[in-house]
Structure 1
Amino acid sequence: MPPELNGRLDFWNIGYPLGALVYFTALISVMAIAWALWNRSKYWQLGRPNPDVGSWKIRIKVGLRTLLIDSAGHRKFVKHETYPGLMHFLIVWGLLLLFVATTIDAFEFNTEKYLGWHLPTREISLQLELIWDIAGLMLIAGIGMAAYRRYVIRPDRLNTMLENSVLLILLFGQAMSGFVLQSFRMAATELEPSSELYSVESSYWSPFSYVIALGIRGFGFSVQAMESSHFILWWGHAALMTLTFVYAAWRFGPLMHIFVSPINLLLRSSVVRPKGALRPILNMDTIEVFGARDITDLTSKQLLDFDSCTNCGRCQDQCPAWRSGKPLSPRALIQDAKSYMVERAPLLIRDGKDAPPPDVNLIGGFISPEVLWSCTSCRACMEACPVSIEHIDTIIDMRRYLTMEEASVPQTAMDALNSMEQRGHPWRGTQSTRIDWMEGTGSVTMAEDPEHEILLWIGCTSALDGRGQQVAKAMASVLKLADIKYRVLGMEENCTGDPARRLGNEYLYQIMAEQNIEILNNYGVRKILTLCPHCFNTIKNEYPQFGGIFEVVHYTEYVAELL
């Protein structure tokens, strides 16, 4: 091997400028992906502006950290399942390292040829060959694990389609053709004594390729046959790469999440909105449609969610509704919404406001109301999702449409909403028993004496349910023993409105929230102790949306501090 070269000879057996045509195939790939993203962005732009933007500086900072921890580090992938997490890690990092290898190769050649620069990587080219060889092995191992899982283990949550199989075949073809073409090069050069590039020691830095190269030489290939095979494989490898990206762009399938998911991570609402808080309807008096009946009623981020979904099913596995036999599958819901978007968006882009109504509605057609009412809004799906899809916002928006536009609500939910409107709580029975729990506790209401250290927010269940009342009494006794000057609202306490919000009646929720905030502010309340986790979340995370800023502590935390 010439002393000035520490690695393989650029465009060996291909020649230059013929070999430079590979840049044209790369350009085709880039253009295909760019076209697909541009075309798809027209779908996303049909949605309403995303209200959860906030500071871009903070969003980018948090987004980069998330990309490093969750995407690069695969935190969410391995959190619940080791096998698929490791599988995805091997594929992603294998592809990423091989992309880096190709990029370095291109920069080394072009900067040296046209600028006369010798990049530092030239000096460690052989050592880098070891990294690239390992990367190729990682990719092949990951693809093998994926195929075994999808076609042998076949977990229930996986929904295998043709494009999944095509993608695995294309990726495997790229990985193996890369190894084999390099092995033919090594067999014809580094392992061929008659070659000016003969250097057996150099081949050791690519151990897997070296083993294949030994096998090639063992079959007795002539140098000419090895060169011809290398030439065909080299162009075949380039064609496979282009075909993979063109296919991904055409189908806008799972591979496109490589480009879409980082945007989705960057735009996720949890950067500016507490995890437990639902998005409010701020223009209640002027909005044309309550909730979402079409993709134009959803935000651009929600439409982006649909294209970010890889159909992996992690959300489905963690969903308590699905695991208890209810019809809700968060995975299927997002995929069905995506199918509706793909069918509906072209008509809206073409005809605008004059577009005819859909042949099949989003709600009742693609997604059944039973699916929407099965959701507990617990966020398990969102915590499990590695690409920050926000299922709950979409479900609640469709519930809002059913509740406030169509009054199509299950009877039990309707009973709760009616009770909240009439009695101030979601349970059956009169409001007059709300203070029965106070008997014998020595509790004082704010109306009787507003001086306090902390307000004890009882909540509807603890105030009105027989077993719950025992909890309220026990908490009052703890505060009394700790000599804490607490107060309660008594008959002035109403439901926080949380059930109404979760059931889609945002109008009723906002009325109740604003009434409660006014009462609390009038008494100068600053610190609130809650017994109910739902009350805790609502007052702490959702009341600030309407000006209710309070320090809220759950009783478990408070008692722990007292101890």
Structure 2
Amino acid sequence: MEYIDNLLFALILIAGIGYFTINVKKLVRNINLGRDVNRSDNSSERWKNMAMIALGQSKMIKRPIAGFLHIIVYVGFVIINIEVLEIIIDGLFGTHRVFSFMGSFYGFLIGSFEILAVLVLVAVIVFWIRRNVVKLKRFMNSEMKTWPKNDANYILYFEMVLMSLFLIMNATDVHFQEMNSGNIISSHIAYWFGGFDVSQLHLIERTAWWIHICGILVFLNYLYFSKHLHILLAFPNTYFADLNPKGQFDNLESVTKEVKLMMDPNADPFAAQPVDENAVPSKFGASDVQDLNWVQLLNAYTCTECGRCTSVCPANITGKKLSPRKIMMDTRDRLEEVGKNIDANKGVFIPDNKSLLNDYITTEELWACTSCNACVEECPVNISPLSIIMDMRRYLVMEQSAAPQSLNAMMTNIENNGAPWQYNQMDRLNWKDEN
């Protein structure tokens, strides 16, 4: 009976970490459903991007209020959870505040954590007010209803509860208070429990301790289902982001080969090209998530749903249906649907007569995009909704000939007249005779 608490803690810890591992494997599997793309170039620039953007939050502070509050939550939550190491050791070996041997420095350390916890509480409350009272416009778009809206609030409630439990746990720990009575926060909170005897305080402290660590494990496993997966994925996402200048699009390898063949004076355009019977039939562009590359799928899972991209999108601002945030959310939702299909069919995807195009993202949304890159520039974690939009446009044009009438007319004119405008080729140079 002496070690039953330690055994129970070990079982809870194993279950929490085990389920998290299962979800991580599923996440990696889903991302790897995408096409291969090489992002191993210029590693120094990639490490710099990760340090500045993911760790340094450099793009968050472009909006100072939200950026400053986010940095408080980010730094506070990471640093405060250093104490989780102590909780795990105490839980497994039956010790109590195993790091307290550091004496006054330990008190200073925990006291600093407590100040951060209060700052996190304040920041989270402000975030809640912005979403639910002030109702900022970018949080009120049509895609931010039901689950996305609730998910954002659930995370805020999680953080409120975890920070409060951390403070209560310290305030009701008689041993800790006697050793570090000068702690600015918990020593004041301890006065609220002045009417309780030692056994009652111990019960409150133990209850807060258990709920706190269980809450952290629940939060860890909730991340997979939440927009807050970016806590983990922002680092690889910024590292693998496209380093090419914004607006530079990749060339399709199959088209490039055709063009080179046409331009080679020694090549026989009618000669049969070697065919790889094992090769997967190529598709121009993308109609479903498997046609996108793995970095684009990583982007979808990393999306914070903050709406900064949509708030600066000129198409969205002028009332068009396009929302870059929705593009990323739809991609993630479809990818999850494909992943569940694979899980249900023993590792094999069974066609479900659905696709990202049309079932999730409409052609109206795709053609509303001006390809201005505002969404890419604004994203705090270097996500590119535009790359997905352009790949799906490619599919519409090159696979289905389903471009808007005005665009089809332009391409027909280029083919027939050598210019976007409809006039006789003999008239092409008439402009030179104009005064």
How far did residue 433 of structure 1 move?
6.2
Which residue number corresponds to residue 51 of structure 2? 68
Which residue number corresponds to residue 136 of structure 2? 155
Which residue number corresponds to residue 124 of structure 2? 143
Q: 1:106 to 1:65 in 2, by over 3 A?
A: farther
Matched, 1:268 2:254: no
Matched, 1:170 2:158: yes
Q: Distance in 1 between matches of 2:11 and 2:185?
A: 29
Q: Distance in 1 between matches of 2:90 and 2:209?
A: 19
Which residue number corresponds to residue 240 of structure 1? 215
Which residue number corresponds to residue 251 of structure 2? 280
Q: Distance in 1 between matches of 2:136 and 2:221?
A: 29
Matched, 1:378 2:372: yes
Which residue number corresponds to residue 67 of structure 2? 85
Which residue number corresponds to residue 255 of structure 1? 228
How far did residue 362 of structure 1 move?
2.0
Alignment of 1:44-443 (within 5 A): 44-50=31-37, 52-55=38-41, 58-59=42-43, 61-79=44-62, 81-103=63-85, 124-158=105-139, 159=144, 160-185=148-173, 188-189=174-175, 198-199=178-179, 202-204=180-182, 206-217=183-194, 220-249=195-224, 252-270=225-243, 273-284=244-255, 288-348=282-342, 355-429=349-423
Q: Distance in 1 between matches of 2:357 and 2:82?
A: 45
Contact 1:319 1:381 in 2 (8 A): yes
How far did residue 16 of structure 1 move?
7.9
Match of 2:222, as an amino acid? Y
Name the SS of the counterpart of 1:143 in structure 2.
Answer: helix
How far did residue 209 of structure 1 move?
1.1
How far did residue 275 of structure 1 move?
2.5
How far did residue 428 of structure 1 move?
4.0
Contact 1:279 1:393 in 2 (8 A): no
How far did residue 88 of structure 1 move?
1.6
Match of 1:164, as an amino acid? A
How far did residue 23 of structure 1 move?
5.8
Q: Distance in 1 between matches of 2:217 and 2:90?
A: 22
Contact 1:28 1:242 in 2 (8 A): no
Which residue number corresponds to residue 528 of structure 1? none
| Structure number with higher relative contact order (C-alpha < 8 Å, ≥ 6 residues apart) | 2
**TM-score, scaled to structure 1:** 0.65
Match of 2:198, as an amino acid? V
Any gaps of 5 or more consecutive residues in structure 1? 1-14, 192-197, 440-465, 470-563
Contact 2:87 2:213 in 1 (8 A): no
Q: Distance in 2 between matches of 1:120 and 1:385?
A: 45
How far did residue 26 of structure 1 move?
4.2
How far did residue 39 of structure 1 move?
0.8
Q: 1:124 to 1:430 in 2, by over 3 A?
A: farther
Deviations 1:140-194 (A, max 9, x none): 1221122111111112222253322222222211110110111011xx3465xxx
Q: State the identity as a percent.
A: 24
Q: Distance in 1 between matches of 2:82 and 2:428?
A: 66
Name the SS of the counterpart of 1:75 in structure 2.
Answer: coil
How far did residue 427 of structure 1 move?
3.5
Q: Distance in 1 between matches of 2:189 and 2:348?
A: 62
Contact 2:10 2:92 in 1 (8 A): no
Q: 1:353 to 1:190 in 2, by over 3 A?
A: closer
Contact 2:338 2:349 in 1 (8 A): no
Q: Distance in 2 between matches of 1:63 and 1:16?
A: 48
Q: Distance in 1 between matches of 2:345 and 2:306?
A: 34
Paired residues, number: 401
How far did residue 213 of structure 1 move?
0.8
Which residue number corresponds to residue 266 of structure 2? none
How far did residue 105 of structure 1 move?
7.2
Matched, 1:30 2:8: no
Q: Distance in 1 between matches of 2:248 and 2:343?
A: 33
Q: Distance in 2 between matches of 1:221 and 1:345?
A: 52
Deviations 1:305-340 (A, max 9, x none): 111112111100111111111111001111112222
Q: 1:432 to 1:207 in 2, by over 3 A?
A: farther
Contact 1:108 1:118 in 2 (8 A): no
Deviations 1:230-256 (A, max 9, x none): 12211121121122223334xx21222
Match of 1:406, as an amino acid? Q
Quote the RMSD (CA, aligned, Å).
3.2
Q: Distance in 1 between matches of 2:329 and 2:241?
A: 19
Structure 1 stretch 341-350 or stretch 304-313: which is displaced more?
341-350
Structure 1 stretch 207-216 or stretch 15-24: which is displaced more?
15-24
How far did residue 382 of structure 1 move?
0.8
Deviations 1:471-506 (A, max 9, x none): xxxxxxxxxxxxxxxxxxxxxxxxxxxxxxxxxxxx
Q: Distance in 1 between matches of 2:49 and 2:424?
A: 49
